[in-house]
Each structure stands twice: as C-alpha cells, then as structure tokens.
Structure 1
Amino acid sequence: MAAAVLVAALTAGCAGWNTVPGHPVAAPQPLPTVADYYAQRVEWRPCPENPEADCGDIRIPVDYADPGAQAITMPLVRLRATNPERRLGALTMNPGGPGESGYQQVLDALDPDDTGLRKFRVRYDLIGFDPRGVGRTAPVRCLDDPATDAYYATDFTPTSADQLTKVAAAHRDYAASCLRNTGRLLGFVGTEFVAKDMDLLRSALGEPKLNYLGFSYGSRLGLYYAEEFPDRVGRMLLDSVDDPSSAPDRWEFDETSTFPVSTRLAPRDQVVYDMLSTCAARSDCPLGPDPDAAMTALRALIDKVDATPIPVDDGRKLGSNLALLGLFETTYDTSYQKRFEQAIVAAQRGDGTPLAKLADRYVGRGENGRFSSSDPAFWAIQCANDDPARYRTKTEEQIMDALSRVAERYAVSGPLFGANRVFSTPLCLFWQVPPSRASTGVEAKGAPTIVLLNNTGDPATPLADAEHVADTLADAVLVVNEHDGHIAFDNGSECVDGIVLGFFFDGEVPARGTRCRN
C-alpha cells in the first residue's frame, strides 16, 4: 500500500507544476527529444510587470532521460544592454538560497536604488530565471500557509519524549506534504537538472558561451554547469562559495563516532556575540555595556519564550523557534545591527513582532501570511544532494536518538543556536524522495578560469569552503575579501567591485592570492 501511495504521489500534481499563487498555468506539451528542446529560441515581449523589461519562456523536460514524457515552462526576463554597440553578450545569474528568484533579482535591477546589477547592464543583457521548483518555474508545494505557521511554531529544542515525538511528526508531515503536493517533479529539482536547464537557456538565447554570476547557492549551480559543460563556460564568477562536496545537515549516525566538544563559540553564536559587543561599545546601547551579560540575558529570553510564547501583532505567538529564526536572519549581514537590537528589546518587553518579522523574512512569509516557494524549494533542492546509499537507512527512533546525542554536543559551542539547529534542520532525514546526486567536489576540467570570491567572516559560506573549492577546481582563482557578512560584491568594497567589473567587462583575471581590504 505504501508503494502504491508513493507512485500515486509521484504522478500527481502535473496541472499545478507551472503555478504561482493566483496564476495557474497548464503544463506545456513536451518535446520528443532533447535536441528539440535545444532548437527553441526565446520570443521576447514587454513584461507585464514593467515594459522596460522583456519577458519570454522556454520549455524544459522534467526528466532529461525521458524528455518526451513531461515538460514545464521556465519564464525568463531580460534587461537589454544600454550600450548595444559595446554589448558583450548575455549575463545570467542566480541569487542563491537555494530557492531565491533569479527572475526577480534581474527585475529588481530596474530599481534606481540598485547599485550592483545595473552596472553590468552597460555591456550585457541581464537574463533572469527561476530554477525548476522555484518561484515562477513550477514551484515546489508543501504545507499550506496555516500548517506552515504551525510547523515553524514547533518547539525544536525538545527536552522530553513527548516533545521529541512532536519534532519527528512535524518533519514527517512537512516532507510528506511536499511529495503529495508537488508530485513527480520533486525527484527532479536537484541542482544537476538546473545546470542542464541553463544550457538549454544558453542555446535558446543564441549565445555560444554562458556568462554567469552566482551568489551563495548560485555558486554551486555555476560549478555544476562548469562540470557538465566546461567548453560552454564564458566568464564565470562565484561570490560566497557553496561547496558542492558538502551535504545538507543529515548529521552523523555512526554509533562509534565521537563528536568534538569545542570551547569556541560556533560561527552563528559568535556573530550574535559580536553584534552584542558592537552594541556594548556604544554609550546608547539598549542591551547594556557587557556583551557577556547581554548574551546571558538573550539566552534567558529564548528560554522564557520557549516556556511562554509572547504575542505578535498578527495574532501569532513568538516561541523559541521563531525567535531563533529571527536572530539567525540577522547573522547574515552587519546591516541588521539596528534591527537586531530593537527586536531583542521589544521581545524583552513582551512584544514578539520584530523578531517574528525577521523570522518571516528568513522563511519567505509575506505580510499577508502567504509563504513563497523559497523555503519548500530550499529543502527540496538541498535534500536532492547527498549520497543515495544513505537514504532512509535508519528508523525514526534511531534518528531522534542520534539527534538528541548530537544536540548535546552542539549546545556546548552553540548555546544559542546549537540544539535548535540540530532539531530544526534534519528535514532531509524524513524526505520521501531519494537524493539524485552524491555530494562530490567539482573539477570542471577544460573550463576557463573561474573566479571565486569570499568574505573572511562569512557565517553562511565560510572561507574554508571557498578555499576547498578553489583547490578542487582544475582552474580557479580565489579572491579573499577581509570583511564580515554574506556576499562580497556591492557591499562597500571598491576593491571587490573593481575586480568583478574588470573581469566581466575586460576579462581581467585577478592574480592568485589577491586580497581586498576596503
């Protein structure tokens, strides 16, 4: 019976593959062969969102091994080069996530406040797309909005058997809903499929090479493309490098393993401590002059809302998980400093609204209570990248027992986030579709020099990961930016921005060992 349910779920959902809220689109007619997909050319028209942009689309096969079975539509957006006489070609990009919209990223470059992507438009057509499973391209569907709210209200710092059972049930129900509501496509949203889609896009644009700018997860996507199509890589720069040899948080279940206990704060806890220290250095700091005392008070706040959630102005309650998600969001960039302080003060006074709004930003919840596809897509794509041999090898009881032991160790170096992250992020252990590609390094032999860029204090994509990718690639140059936060380009460094623009405009590859300090 379980097998029958799985088959039914895998074949369901076809009509809803090309949908955004309120805008259903029927699944397109598939093409017989991969060569037929490559024969497509984009037909551009003014975008309904903004007539200054051009919109188009291509068909992509769900399964490249069986292209004639089913297809989905990939919408595209283009901003044409403002100096066509000096046009260098098309520049495709991805903002990361996984789950963020590359379509919207390019559309946002029309905003006069955008200081980054619009610089490329002088000599490039900017091309935006959403990877399969994301946004406008057959988004992954999981829980409905009220059920998603309930999922994030789960206490992911369990201290009893009953709470452990609730954690397991929350992950199990989430994973089951993704298969039920997304259907067969769920097994075909892995990064390796998107890389193939990108080559169809390149062909449909009439471009001999793919020029590509990838941020965070977008760097993994670029690496997969370079591995699959090294001779078709143009100028590729990857900012904040996501190491493809790393798997999602499945943790280690070898009963004989030992987990090192570090006395150093874990990276995200350290970022929070640094933000408390930045505040403490000011005479007007609302969190007090002692960062150690402030950290102790913050941990006490999390314990308090865990025991008794506090109100949010939209009727929800802020418990420990939402509070920690809000704090986690602030660790991505130093620009969150003021909101970080204000949210903590508000929560200490009994108002959970500011922290909840930060959490909403992290998980893609709009002010209307509707969730975007970003978080379901994040998990669907992450869970597709791991060793298939490890899929579903443990019982639920074994999983929860192992997580409990791991959480004890992680709580030592991560007293704020440690245990919560262990219990809130192992969704892939409950995933109902096996991984589609093992986590392995990428060499990309035959590709031109790939430029990598990483901040020294990036808590999301650590410098060590970028260094490992640089060592693994056959031909790469790593530029290190001595700065905190996630994403280096267009974040205040003239050195970084000059290198990026020099590479894309003039083909200038920075010298090995280049470091930026401004």
Structure 2
Amino acid sequence: MPISSSLCVRCVRCVRPRRATAVVVAVVLCLSLFTAPSVSGVDGPPPSVPAPRLDWKPCVQGPEFDCATARVPLDHLDPGRRSVKLALVRRKATVPGRRVGTLFFNPGGPGGPGTVQMPQDYPFLPREIRERYDIVSWDPRGVGHSTAVNCFANAAEAKAWASRTPDGFPADAEQRATWIASYKDLGRRCQERDPQLLRHVSTADTARDLDQLRRAVGEPQLTYFGISYGTFLGATYANLFPGKVRAMVLDSNVDPQAWSNHASDQEPALPLPLRMGADRGAAATLDQFLTRCGSAATADCGFSAGSPKATRDKFDELMRRLREHPVSKSTYGRTVGDVVAGLNVVHPGWKDLAGRLQDLWRGRVPKSPTPLPAPPVPTPYLGVEQASAVLCSDSPNPRDPGVYHALEEAAALRAGDAGRFWTWAAEPCATWPALAADRYRGPWNKPTAHPVLVVGTSYDPATPYAGAQAMAKELADARLLTNQGYGHTALLNPSSCVNEYESRYLLDGTLPPAGATCRPNVLPFPAPMPRGGVATGGGALAGVAS
C-alpha cells in the first residue's frame, strides 16, 4: 500500500508521513518492462560470499536496543563488485534463559525502515515471542540508514519538490499535469544520482540480503514475521530458499500473482493497487467505519450523524464540499489520503479520524494525529523515492501517464474516493526510469522445509482479505488464519486469539486448525448494549470465533 502513494504497502503506523503524498500504507508504484526473471533455486548464497560480520552495540537513542551494520553485495549474482550497507536493530529476548533463537521482522512498505518501525511495533508482538526470541529488523537496501535512494542534493531541494506536488492525488486537470511532471522529474533526478543502485533494490535482492543476515546471526533456518509488503518479501524468500524456512508468519498479505502481474510480460491494464483490490478493500472498510460510527454516540464517534445512513450521507456531502469548494487546492486529495491511512489502525486511529472529519465538517483545520514514540535511532531521510525505487522496479504498472485519469474514474465507480487515491498511488511508476536486474516472478509453490502461517483480516483497507486467501493458495504448504476484524494487519489491531496461535506456531510449529478464525480484542466504537445484554470479560483466547 502507499508510497508516494505507496502501497507498496508501507506499514501503517510507521514513521509519521511528512506529506499525504508520501505514502500511506501499502501497495503502489511500479512498472512494466523488466529483465528476465531470476529462476535461481539454490538454497543459500554462492559459497564464495562470506556471511557479513555484525558488531552489535547499544543504539544511541535507545540502549535497550542494539544496532549494527552489515555489508552485502550490490548484485548477489555478481558479488565481486560494489557492496551496500544494511542498518540493523535488535531487541534481545527478555527472558534469556528461555531464548530459542532469532526472529527477523519486516514492517512492510516497501520502504519501511525496520530500525525505526520495529521498535515502534515491538510492543505489539506476542509477549512469549518477545520473551524467547531476539527480534531483529533492518532497513532494506535503498531505504533509511542503509545505502539509500536519495534523489536530492539537500533537504531544501526535497522540500521544494514536495511543495509543488499535490497531496494525496491530483483533483483536477491542472493538478494532474503538475503531478505527472513532478514524478517524471523525480525519476530523472534519481537516475542521475545513482542509476546502478536503482537496478538493485528489488524484493529478490532484499530476500538474498535476508538470507545473508540469517547466516550472520548463526541460524540454520529462518524464523520470520512479515506484515503488509513484508508478506511478499517472505513469499519471495520462501521460494528462493525453500529449504531454509523454519517458521514464517505473513500478516496482511499481498497477492503474489497480482504483484507480478501473473508473470505476464505484457503491460498490465490496471495498476497494482487495483489488481490487488486495495481500492475495494478501502471502500469496504470505510463503509464499516461509517456504519459503526453512525451506530455510536457522538461522544464515542465525533462524526456520527445519528445513524449509519445519515453518517454515510454526511461523509459523501463532506467529500462533495471539499471537491467543489476546497479550503486549499490539495484539501480533497489530502483528506482522502488521510482517510485511507486513518483506517489502518482502529485504536486510537478510527476515533481520531472521526474527530478530524468533524473538524473539516465544521470548517476547522483538523488536529494532527498523535505522534508516535521516538525510535532508538535518529530518524533517517525517508523520501517517497525510496518506496518508488522498490515498487517501480519490481511490479508492473501502465507506462502511459495519460491513462490514469480514465482508470481513476473507473475505480471511483466501484470504490468511490478510495478508488481515486489508489489509482494515482501507482502513477509515479509510469515514468520511473529503472528496471530491476534481479526480479523474482514465481513460481510461488516450491515446497518449503516447514509450513507457513498466513493471517488475513476481514476488513483491511490496504491489503484485502482476498490477498491472504490467494497467498495461502499459492504457497506450497500454508495455513490461513482469519481475523474477523478491521484495519491493516492483525499485529497493530491486537487479537489475543491471533497472538496465541502465532506464538504456538513460532515456538513449536503448531498450526491453527484448518478454518480457524479469531476476533479482535476490542471492536471499533462502543456498540450499543442489546436490551438484556450482559457485558463479559475475556481471557487469553477470548477472541476465538471458532
């Protein structure tokens, strides 16, 4: 989900985006012409490549975390040339006497910096996993503190580019022309600064890095937890290194066939988010948000109009107002982007989103979202080009910028405002200059050493539940666990039931029963108590639905 609008599923809570254009969640920027796919089936890197050496030291801003760097080849298929740096972060097992190994965590994106997001997401990991595993994450190549894609000479240049680029998505012909020109200019700048790096930031490149990191920490097989785009990275690893999979949790899944355009060499008719159904997933989740808000009192949902229908009508009227009488030229596009992103995390996200919508309804400037805790490392530069570099070299999108307006209108017919947002999220790839030198396009069903646990949420605004169904079907040996809840990732929308199943699986390989479902610990907005209803508490498995 997004990137510059990236879906490329950048993870949800992440670093607070500096601009609405700069990526929301999760799945978006790509292109259509690629070099021949890598079909390597070798488990492990070439023998001539030694595992990187990790010199762990306490992180400067968070001593409970350790930091390190690793050097890996720019091109794993030709390792004798240039190398790149990877920045890592680690939180040691909190009960050292019961430690069982290292778990690698990827927070999504593409473009999610693990050194920033893993410490923020760490408290959401199941307690027993934190007790018994060292949790390690990293900034993937091209991102953050690692050897990064940075297409501007200084911060002033980056700020000037951002100031002239519409927020969210372009809302009229003038903004469409500005948007297309801005992203074409961004691609040109990136190509001029480091064209070699742009060809080597693919998911396959990062999967090969991950195997090097596995070797560096001394693990014979990989234990992995990936969310959002991290599920596609996990699937790629599982098929490049099937014999190295010990345990793998994939939460909020990208359909691997949709990402790779069903392995077709033809330019796709639809951009990636629409192939994935991100627009429909966002529209369905938004409908749930408005329905549940309208069923709640205004004290619990500030945007409530007293009933689900009245609240949906109120939202439609607000969007019409913003389109026809915007407070500023970017108000409508920025607001839709904020809505799509605001649906990702239910608590406190939905209540906060309702408050911002009510502010707009009253003609006020919305309050800023609550800032996230400071990471244990200085926040790195995270320009939109980092997500674009991965997505646009790894997943095909229409290459003609002129077709996106028609695609937007078609998406709006099936998914409303969310369709407009997710269509334009992929447009920067239309003029992206680089193609991945090493791109994995399948097959996705290589038998793995151990089965994979796939987790999907019923109402996910970035990676819809159908993506989890597709992932479980595509992988050779996978079990689907359904979270009957809301938001992007079960990790950030907690369910004790999901956590219990994940802990059992990660520790001893026990999979949930076939067809198992869970519910979140807390539903969005307090539901009215039925007449004669009795409030109940819950234990560790209170969220189990079946």
Same fold (TM > 0.5):
yes
- Contact kept? 1:157, 1:423, Cα under 8 Å: no
Using the alignment, how far apart are the partners of 1:270 and 1:391 within structure 2?
A: 25
Query: SS at the partner of 1:245?
Result: helix
Structure with larger Rg: 1
Q: Name the structure 2 match of 1:11.
A: none
Q: Name the structure 1 match of 2:406.
A: 405
1:186 to 194, 198, 207: 198
Change (3 A) 1:134 1:471: same
Query: SS at the partner of 1:212?
Result: strand
Across the two proteins, how many residue pairs are aligned to each other?
452
Using the alignment, how far apart are the partners of 1:47 and 1:283 within structure 2?
A: 45
* Superposed displacement of residue 456, structure 1: 1.7
* Superposed displacement of residue 198, structure 1: 0.6
Q: Name the structure 2 match of 1:44.
A: 56
Using the alignment, how far apart are the partners of 1:483 and 1:237 within structure 2?
A: 18
Using the alignment, how far apart are the partners of 2:504 and 2:217 within structure 1?
A: 24
TM-score, normalised via structure 1 length: 0.78
1:127 to 127, 136, 149: 136
1:282 to 261, 271, 296: 296
Which letter maps to 1:148?
A: A
2:216 aligned with 1:199, yes or no?
no
State the Cα RMSD in Å.
Answer: 3.2
Of the structure 1 ranges 169-178 and 480-489, higher mean CA displacement relative to structure 2 is found in 169-178
Using the alignment, how far apart are the partners of 1:465 and 1:155 within structure 2?
A: 24
Using the alignment, how far apart are the partners of 2:418 and 2:243 within structure 1?
A: 43
Q: In the TM superposition, what are the counterparts of 1:84-99 in structure 2 within 5 Å?
A: 84-99=96-111
Query: SS at the partner of 1:235?
Result: strand
* Superposed displacement of residue 464, structure 1: 1.5
Using the alignment, how far apart are the partners of 2:326 and 2:159 within structure 1?
A: 20
Q: Name the structure 2 match of 1:346.
A: 359
Could you tell me which runs of 5 or more consecutive residues in structure 2 were left unpaired when the two chains were aligned: 1-44, 153-157, 520-542
Which letter maps to 2:305?
A: G
Using the alignment, how far apart are the partners of 2:421 and 2:58 within structure 1?
A: 46
Using the alignment, how far apart are the partners of 1:127 and 1:211 within structure 2?
A: 10
* Superposed displacement of residue 441, structure 1: 5.2
Using the alignment, how far apart are the partners of 2:343 and 2:228 within structure 1?
A: 15
* Superposed displacement of residue 510, structure 1: 2.2
Using the alignment, how far apart are the partners of 2:496 and 2:305 within structure 1?
A: 34
Q: Which has the higher contact order (CA 8 A, sep 6+)?
A: 2
Using the alignment, how far apart are the partners of 1:341 and 1:281 within structure 2?
A: 13
Q: Name the structure 1 match of 2:256.
A: 244
Of the structure 1 ranges 206-215 and 406-415, higher mean CA displacement relative to structure 2 is found in 406-415
Q: Name the structure 1 match of 2:161.
A: 147
* Superposed displacement of residue 303, structure 1: 4.2
Of the structure 1 ranges 67-76 and 77-86, higher mean CA displacement relative to structure 2 is found in 77-86
Could you tell me which runs of 5 or more consecutive residues in structure 1 were left unpaired when the two chains were aligned: 1-32, 312-316
- Contact kept? 1:226, 1:447, Cα under 8 Å: no
Using the alignment, how far apart are the partners of 1:339 and 1:154 within structure 2?
A: 19
Using the alignment, how far apart are the partners of 1:343 and 1:251 within structure 2?
A: 39
Deviations along 1:28-72, whole A, 9 cap, x unmatched? Answer: xxxxx9645424332222222223322222101111233222111
Change (3 A) 1:163 1:92: closer
- Contact kept? 1:154, 1:170, Cα under 8 Å: no
1:443 to 414, 439, 445: 445
Query: SS at the partner of 1:477?
Result: strand
Query: SS at the partner of 2:72?
Result: strand
* Superposed displacement of residue 182, structure 1: 4.4
Query: SS at the partner of 1:38?
Result: coil
Change (3 A) 1:423 1:451: closer
Using the alignment, how far apart are the partners of 1:132 and 1:460 within structure 2?
A: 23
TM-score, normalised via structure 2 length: 0.75
Q: Name the structure 2 match of 1:165.
A: 177
Using the alignment, how far apart are the partners of 1:182 and 1:248 within structure 2?
A: 25
Which letter maps to 2:229?
A: Y
Which letter maps to 1:461?
A: T
- Contact kept? 1:299, 1:416, Cα under 8 Å: no
Using the alignment, how far apart are the partners of 1:251 and 1:217 within structure 2?
A: 22
Q: Name the structure 2 match of 1:228.
A: 240
- Contact kept? 2:51, 2:213, Cα under 8 Å: no
Change (3 A) 1:415 1:468: closer
Q: Name the structure 1 match of 2:39.
A: none
- Contact kept? 2:89, 2:136, Cα under 8 Å: yes
Query: SS at the partner of 1:384?
Result: helix
Change (3 A) 1:151 1:465: same
* Superposed displacement of residue 132, structure 1: 0.7
Which letter maps to 1:416?
A: D
Q: Name the structure 2 match of 1:17.
A: none
Deviations along 1:149-195, whole A, 9 cap, x unmatched? Answer: 4323486133x4x5543332133123223333443211111100000
- Contact kept? 2:481, 2:515, Cα under 8 Å: yes
